[in-house]
Chains A and B, each alone.
Chain A
Amino acid sequence: MKDVVLNNIVKTYNKGKVKAVNDVSFTVNKGELFGLIGPDGAGKTSIFRILTTLLLPDSGTASVKGFDVIKDYKNIRSSVGYMPGKFSLYQDLTVEENLNFFASVFNTTIQDNYDLIKDIYVQIEPFKDRRAGKLSGGMKQKLALCCALIHRPTVLFLDEPTTGVDTVSRKEFWEMLKSLKQQGITILVSTPYMDEATLCERIALMQNGEIMSIDTPKNIINQFPENLFAIKANDMGKLLQDLRKNHEIKTCNAFGEFHHITINSGEPIIENRKFKISNIEKMLIESGHKELVIKEITPTIEDCFIRLMDQSIDNG
């Protein structure tokens, strides 16, 4: 059963001048942890706002738990949990008051659903008398998640929950999502961080309001059609320039410690590639690079994303 269905959703702003979401269709299965991955401005938040009935699409249809986002918006509102990207709880109410308030507007109580939020709530419980505005970033996220869960939603929408949160809290947050998934809650999460993509069951890579690819992270990585090499030397800046000038190199992107390159291989023969790599290595040494390291690696989601992005630029 599909919990979330989008069919050809289009959303424009400024009277059609800005296309935020362009003909997007995808489905999310029941109990799935689905990730929308894309940079800022890819249209993630617009999709979330359409699905949570805060925004009307220009065209196309969408439904959550079988309820249409336009006609049955009331049913959707009582059965989904939404955590906006921006912290949107009452900053002048305390942690407990916020939670109580959102529980009561959904006609429930903290006690009724305490088992669902317990694992998260115990972490912020020592601060329950503190005003929400005075919490740290990570605590705010936990409180927001508690408030989104307090009415036991069946579908949870999390818009960039880890943006602006430190690495440890991010890790904790994803652990929490995993345990929520165990409870059978369908989770739709968006993130601009590519490294978080592998934590989702299925992901949609988005760019400029369009979906470039939808699959499991593993399949997306497997679909990467070329061999990828990581390369490192003493002068990374010069290395990047030299590599980009080289005709044997197809793509070259800076990735932290290494540069990731793919090569123009006429024939898919492994010997041929190895030969080319050793050629490149030789050339680089000749042009004065020291401490050269070249190794073949499995691509990351980010590599896949960049490749898809370049492709769409070439096509467009």
Chain B
Amino acid sequence: MRTLKFLLQKEFKQIFRNKALLPLIFVVPIVQLLILPLAADYEVKNINISIVDHDHSAFSRHLISKITASGYFRLADYSPSFNTAFKQIEQDQSDLILEIPQGFEKNLVRENEQKLFIAVNAINGVKAGLGGAYLNQIITAYNADIRLQWFQPDKFNTAPVITVASSNWFNPFMNYRFFMVPGILVILVTMVGSYMCALNIVKEKEVGTIEQINVTPIKKYQFILGKLIPFWAIGMFVFSVGLFVVARLVYGIVPVGNLFLLYGYLSIYLVALLGLGLLISTFAETQQQAMSVAFFFIMIFMLMSGLFTSLDGMPQWAYFIAKCIPVTYFIEVVRMIILKGSGFADIKYHFVIMIGFAALLNGLAIWNYKKTS
């Protein structure tokens, strides 16, 4: 116990003296939490649209003003012909072309029917898909408007109509930040836990201090605990700062669920992650190697853990990989507890799985650590 105390003392002294590492641990996560959610915005705004209006009627002008007033579109160009509009797409000046045919108003009034043409630049799939969908919605709404103006609704409905009323639970305004911020918080804790821990141990190898430690009566478990405990504490600290300072004050996210449950899960999650860091450090000889390996894992964690994309939309094999990543479970749990207020019964399987990860990763790390020395 006494030895462990001295090891911890030494470790904290070193961490707080490291002028490069300290801001990396404490400032960078907060800055990232402030910047990343803004970038990870699913709403597409400022879609450039080129309109080719062959009609120049009151109806077509009404439609155009509706489109530009929606806030999603920016009128890039008002072209006389489809070909000139297409040039705009070729030059990447616009993303969408809406072509209004000649006699749009006349035919609409006379024949009750008219067709519009939309061409989409599909290089950026998300932008194209969403842009097309938005435009369709606007046109549909416009269509309904016209109907309302022309036909007086019958006193009694002649045909049965199903009206759908939807309500958004847990995130009523569909604020994507509520969804993203907890997830990004998880990634940040993950980085601090795995990176820092792995790098710290490998540094001892690289500098050679581990040799000096190995000839002392310090036991292996003491050395490992001396490394894990500081980073476990730092992980807790970073998460708390992110949750109570950034998420609450900046994004107004107040956890609905039980905080003890959240921290209970976090503490197990950190043990699992530190196990991963430890495992990396047993393989790597230099900090560069450790960094590269850790980076590889972090990339996969970031992109496959369901942070940005829904797990259900993944192909079977990718879904399987995602399920093998501890981060996936923590992101799920964080969102469930913070946004939905889930209780222990809802996440008990998550607990079991995370304890399994913690045991597996730490077990592997210790086994490999023993093998090498």
Contacts and interface: CB of A to CB of B under 8 A. Distances in A.
A147 B354 CA distance: 42
Nearest to A100: B6
Contacts of B218: 105
B208 interface: yes
B17 interface: yes
B352 interface: no
A90 B2 contact: no
A24 B192 CA distance: 47
Interface stretch (B25-33, B43-51, B209-217, B280-288): B209-217
Given A86-B208, A87-B208, A104-B3, A93 B215 contact: no
10 contacts: A53-B215, A54-B373, A77-B214, A77-B215, A82-B212, A86-B208, A93-B10, A104-B2, A105-B3, A106-B217
A91 interface: yes
Nearest to B7: A105
Interface residues of B, number: 21
Contacts of B208: 84, 86-88
A60 B298 CA distance: 45
Given A77-B217, A104-B3, A84 B207 contact: no
Contacts of B13: 92-93, 97
Given A53-B215, A105-B216, A90 B209 contact: yes
Contact of B2 (A53, A102, A107): A107
Contacts of A105: 3, 6-7, 213, 216-218
B14 interface: yes
B211 A54 contact: yes
| The 7 A-B residue pairs with the shortest CB-CB distance in the complex, in nearest-first order | A88-B208, A104-B6, A82-B215, A88-B212, A78-B217, A105-B216, A86-B208
Contacts of B209: 88-90
Contact of A90 (B6, B14, B214): B14
A97 B6 CA distance: 11
A52 interface: yes
Most chain A beta carbons < 10 A, residue from B14, B18, B211: B211
B82 to A, nearest CB: 68
A52 B216 CA distance: 10
Contacts of A97: 10, 13
Given A54-B211, A87-B208, A93-B14, A106 B6 contact: no
Interface string A168-212: 000000000000000000000000000000000000000000000
B368 to A, nearest CB: 17
Contacts of B10: 90, 93, 97, 101
A129 B89 CA distance: 67
